[in-house]
Structure 1
Amino acid sequence: MSIQCKVKSIEPLACNTFRILLHPENPVTFKAGQYLMVVMGEKDKRPFSIASSPCRHQGELELHIGAAEHNAYALEVVEAMKSALENNSSITIDAPHGDAWVREESEHPLLLIAGGTGFSYVRSILDHCVAQNKQNPIYLYWGARDRSQLYAKAELKEIAANHSNVHFVPVVEEAPQDWLGKRGNVLNAINEDFESLADFDIYIAGRFEMAGSAREQFTQNKQARSDRMFADAYAFI
């Protein structure tokens, strides 16, 4: 469904990463883990995960967009958003989309895996589960190139401190000497930490290669069930 939105605010989260709040002219009904398409042209629709959760978004839609200079696909969207904000004009979105939404009826523990700004996808799921007071164990692994990209680390540590069933594990590839957390590849960290993933519902957002590698590694080596692994990438690979 095409919907007109006003751009309410744009603020930096980290280097080349922006939080954008959209106010749709009509409420958008969506599930935690779904995404929207920003309409840039008649045949040009670009997908971005909805970072807000359906139970606590107060009619607004939150996006986290990584828009480095070499990433024209995302950078052009951010520039269009900035122009709409400055001119008080509208952006057109098409929403909701995606089948990798959280299975709320499941009582399995959850493993949420994010690479970079794929965090926006798992943020929606985590926030929704916390708001619904779900007691399933939740493990959130967030992999980034360096710790500056873990822009929500303080927020996630606070959530984990206040909810005994939530566990947050940051993983950085380029770690300084004083980094006390996990280092290297986020999938390797999960492989090291879990003997088996047979009981888990697994939700993944990141590059297609990461999602594909996770499915291969976890089903072959960690007894994960492919029918309980969810990622938008799986519709394409």
Structure 2
Amino acid sequence: MSMITVNPSGKFFESIAGESILDAALRSGIMLKHGCRDGRCGDCRTSLETPISPTAISYPTGLQLQASDLAGETILCCQAQTNQDLVLTAPEVTELDGISIQKLVSRVLNKYLVSSDVVLLKLMLAPGSEFPYRAGQYVDITLPNSVTRSYSMATRHVEDNAIELHIRLKPDGVGTPYIFNELAQRKMVTIEGPYGSFYLRKTQASIILLASGTGFAPIKAIIEQLIEEQKIVNSTTRPVRLYWGGRSAEDLYMSTLCEQWSNDLSWFDYVPVVSEKTENWPGRTGFVHHVIMEDFADLSLYEVYACGAPIVIESARHDLVKERQLLLDSFYSDTFL
């Protein structure tokens, strides 16, 4: 057993053998910044207050690490295990205080196609269940075939005791074919969460939302949060522009909803983007973040919230920071495969 201290808060927690540092922190109610939890996004990479011997940290075989990880100067908390006491320099995500990770049993309430390869899945929680989360977070779901996958909630909070997920079919996978072809109404599904540090920050900056494919799900939840907040305070919220990209128009499976928001909300604009131009497509074409760059010469006063595949997120982060003066700390992302 190892003792992990987190500065500057001074909080500490115990990590047991076989447990990642992030899992140990979350189990202890300490919310460290994190995203995918499988070593891809790098959001949980944390500095060590004092460099340690690399042998004090173990990682799964084959994991791609940065030079600083290999040198024992930083650690990838979601994958790292340790056999000694450590001191991390890591700000906690205090905005998520009061939200605890739970494991709950749910049942399939509804499932229907919103495009040829995207299904909307609603899971009903047990009566009396409390499942608070922040718009933008995600859950792990364990299916009856024992496969576990991660999906973002697509509503701002639990509605009618149910959560909504948007799931794209991956024909060669083992999770989504089961969801599409075998997961029927009333079947039981275990959910665990909420996870992730992707949520709307409370600032006055103008907002750009970037969604790729089913990355629209957490973005939809964030927009619903903004709409709800506007109703509560009865005032205009900060300007928001959504760029939703896909290969074709069919990938923008809730575009009508976005158009309705744009018509109804003075502070909201919607820009649909497709990468495969056709004669019937009247809108913008190309990579979605390139379209953002066409519209903005300087993003230094903006926040960007982006959700999509790794190549989309990394390209957007690199180009918007380097070429459009976006502050790196103002780029918030959720990456999925």
With normalisation by structure 1, the TM-score equals: 0.90
Q: How many angstroms apart in 2 are the aligned matches of 1:233 and 1:150?
A: 18
- Residue from 134, 139, 159 that aligns with 1:31: 134
Aligned partners of 1:7 and 1:217: how far apart in 2? 41
| Residue correspondence of structure 1 range 59-208 to structure 2 within 5 A | 59-79=161-181, 82-83=183-184, 85=185, 88-103=186-201, 105-133=202-230, 135-208=237-310
SS in 2 for 1:211: helix
Q: Distance in 1 between matches of 2:291 and 2:153?
A: 26
Q: Are residues 1:51 and 2:148 paired?
A: no
* 1:231 aligned counterpart, secondary structure: strand
Match of 2:323 in 1: 221
C-alpha distance in 1 between matches for 2:334 and 2:146: 20
In structure 2, the CA distance between the partners of 1:175 and 1:42, relative to structure 1 (3 Å rule), is closer
CA distance in 2, matches of 1:79, 1:93: 20
Q: Any conservation in 2 of the 1:38–1:77 contact (CA below 8 Å)?
A: no
Show CA shifts across 1:170-229 (max 9, x none): 001112213211011101111111111111111111101111111111111111111111
Residue-by-residue CA offset, 1:147-187 (whole Å, 9 max, x unaligned): 01111111111111110110000001112213211011101
Q: Deviations for 1:7-65, whole angstroms, at most 9, x for unmatched residues?
A: 100010001100011111213100010011112489953110110112x7232100010
Count the aligned residue pairs: 229
**How many angstroms apart in 1 are the aligned matches of 2:247 and 2:282?**
15
- Structure 2 residue runs of 5 or longer lacking an equivalent are 1-101, 231-235
For residues 164 and 295 of structure 2, what CA distance do their matches in structure 1 show? Answer: 32
Q: Is this contact kept in 1: 2:111–2:120, CA < 8 A? A: yes
Which residue matches 1:13?
114
Report what 2:13 is aligned to.
none
- Partner amino acid, structure 1, of 2:142: V
| Structure with max Cα Rg | 2
Distance 1:98 1:79 in 2: 29
Looking at structure 2, the residues matched to 218 and 182 of structure 1 have their Cα atoms a distance apart, in angstroms, of 18
Unaligned runs of at least 5 residues, structure 1? none
Inter-partner Cα distance in structure 1 for 2:145 and 2:329: 34
Q: Shift of residue 138 of structure 1?
A: 0.5
- Give the Cα–Cα distance (whole angstroms) in 1 for the partners of residues 145 and 305 of structure 2: 31
Give the TM-score normalised by structure 2: 0.64
* C-alpha deviation, 1:68, in angstroms: 3.8
Residue type matched to 1:29 in 2? P
Shift of 1:121: 1.4
Higher relative contact order (CA 8 A, sep 6+): 1
Tell me if the contact between 1:28 and 1:59 (Cα under 8 Å) persists in the aligned partners.
no
Cα distance in 2, alignment partners of residues 113 and 208 from structure 1: 13
- Percent identity reads 25
SS in 2 for 1:232: strand
Amino acid at match of 1:2: K
User: 2:208 and 2:173 mapped to 1: Cα distance?
Assistant: 29
* Bigger fraction of residues in helix: 1
Distance 1:61 1:40 in 2: 15
**Distance of 2:292 and 2:262 partners within structure 1:** 18
